[in-house]
Amino acid sequence: MQPYELSLAAAADAIRERRLSPVELVDSVLDRVEEVEPLLGAYVTVTAEQARTAARAAEREITAGRARGPLHGIPMGLKDLIDVAGMATTASSRVRAEHRARADSTVATRLAAAGAILVGKTHTHEFAYGLITPQTSNARDRNRIAGGSSGGSAVAVATGGATFALGTDTGGSIRVPAALNGVVGLKPTYGLVPRHGITSLSWSLDHVGPITRTVEDAALVLTALAGHDPRDPASLATPDTSAYRPGAGTDLTGLRIGVPRTFYFDHIDPEVEAAVRSAVDQLRSLGARLVEVEIPMTRYLRATHWGLMVPEATAYHERTLRAVPELYQADVRVLLEAGELLPTGDYLRAQRARTLMRQAWAELLREVDMIAAPTVPATAVETGQSTITWPDGTTEGVSDAYVRLSAPANITGVPALSLPVGHDTASLPIGMQLLGRPLGEAALLRAGHAYEQARLGATTS
C-alpha cells in the first residue's frame, strides 16, 4: 500500500510510531495529484512547494517530541470557498478570479494549529450553487459526474489526492459527492463548526464538515473543527469533543434506528434501495433495534428548502449580480436572478415551515436515536445527463433528485453522516446516511464506525 492510500487514522499511527514521515506522506500525495489531476480536475490550485515546506517543519517538530496530535503532518484539501490568508478564494467562479483572502477562516486556523498540511484548494460548483461540479470528474468513472458542490474535495479524497478534505453542505453538498465517489461525508449540527471566513451560499442552511475515507477519520477531523466562534452568529457553545472518536467495539445493543416507511425510499434506484436495506440489516445484526417511522411534512420539504436558499443566495450576490452578471455561469445566474422575483412573503412562510419541521423532527427523534436512509436515490449519472427515469416511468431532474433526500438535514439542522455501503452493477458507489439528534454526532459516528468494522470483517474473513 502506498502512503497516499492510507486512512487518516492509519497515517497518524504510522507517523507517531516513526514508520512514516510527514515528508514521505506529503510527497506520495503530491505524486498522486500529479498523476490523476489531469484526468479528474479535483483542484483549483495545488500548493505543492508550501506543502513540502510544511511537511519538513512537521517532521522536525514530531522528531523533537512536539507532536500536536493525529492531524499533525496529514495532507488535506480545502474547498475553494474557505479562506486561507494570501491565497485565492475563487469559489470556482470568474466573479472571484482576482480575490485574495486577507485572513484565515476559523476552520483553516484550527486545522493549521492541529498540524494539518494544505495540499490545495478543491473545485466547487460555482459558489456552491449546484450538485454537479462540472470541472471535476467522478473518481470511479471519468464519464460520470462527481456530484457537488464539494465534488473536488470528494474526488481528491477518493483518489488519494488528499488524506482528508473539507466541504460545505447547504442542501447535501458534502454528502452527495461523498456518496457518489465512495467516501465518508459528515454534515455536522448547524452551528457546531464555525463558518467565519467561508463564502456563503445560504446563511441559514450552510454547514461545513469533513470528507474522509473512514468514519474514524471524520471523527478525528471534527474534533479539531468543532467549537464556539463569536464571529459566526450561529456558532454553538464549545462541545465535549472527547466522545467523537468511536471505540473499537461493534455492539449497538439498545440503539433505536428509524427506517422510513416512505419518502426516503420513494423514487429510488432498486440497487440503491437493496444496498441500503442490506446495510440497515447489518446494523440490526450488531444489536440495533429497527423502528419503522414516518418522515413528517414531506410535501413541504422542497418548497421550504428553495424558499430559504434562493432569496438568501440572491441577497449575498446582489451587488455583483448587477455589476458583472456576464461573469456568472448560466445555470447559477438563472437561479440568482430568480431569487430577485421571489416575494418576501414566500421567504417568511418558508421560515415558519422550517420552525414546524424542526419541531416535528425533534418529536420523531425522541422515538428513535437516529434515522437510516439512502444518501441519494441514484448513483452517479453520466456527464451531461439532465434527468433520471425511475422504475415507474416518471422522470426527475438530476439536481432535484440528488438534493431531495439530503436537504431535510439542512432545513432542520440535524447532523447527517454519509458512508459507503456497496456498489451497483456498474461498480458505482452507493451511500447510506445516518441522521441524528442535534449535537448527536458521537452516536452517528459510533454507529457508522461499527458498520464499517463489521463490513471490513466480513470482507476479510
Peptide bond into 242 cis (omega under 30): no
Q: How far apart are CA 280 and CA 421, in angstroms?
A: 10
User: What b/e string do you get for 287-318 counting C-beta neighbours within 10 Å, with b at 16 or more?
Assistant: ebebeebebbbbebbeebbbbbbbbbbbebbe
Q: CA separation (Å) from 161 to 60, 122, 211?
A: 24, 10, 12
Q: Beta strands 184-187 and 164-169: pairing type? A: unpaired
Rg of the Cα atoms in the chain:
21
Active-site residue identified among 92, 150, 153, 173? 173
CB count within 10 Å of CB 221 equals: 30
- Catalytic-labelled residue, pool 149, 153, 202, 235: 149
Place of cell 432498486: 270
**DSSP codes, 178-199:** HHHHT-EEEE--TTTS--TTB-
Beta-bridged to residue 43, according to DSSP, are: 122
Residues 6+ apart with CB under 8 A from 168: 79, 81, 82, 124, 128, 149, 150, 174, 195, 198, 201, 206, 207, 208, 209
- Spatial separation of the C-alpha atoms in residues 126 and 33, rounded to whole Å: 22
149 is catalytic: yes
Distant-in-sequence, close-in-space partners of 219: CB < 8 Å, separation ≥ 6: 244, 245, 246, 445, 449
Instruction: Give CA angle at 177 (327, 285), nearest 5°.
Output: 165
**Active-site residue (options: 21, 28, 79, 150):** 79
Torsion sign across C-alpha atoms 279, 283, 285, 290: negative
Q: Is 173 a catalytic residue?
A: yes
Among 373, 362, 353, 375, residue whose Cα is nearest residue 437:
362
Residue type present at position 163: T
Q: Evaluate the CA torsion angle 335, 339, 343, 348 in order and state its sign.
A: positive
Q: Which of 451, 456, 460 is nearest to 285 (CA)?
A: 451
Tell me how far apart the alpha carbons of residues 348 and 130 are, in angstroms, rounded to a whole number. Answer: 24
To the query of whether residue 187 is one of the catalytic residues in this protein, the response is: no
Distance of CA 234 to the CA centre of its chain: 19
Catalytic residue numbers read: 79, 149, 173
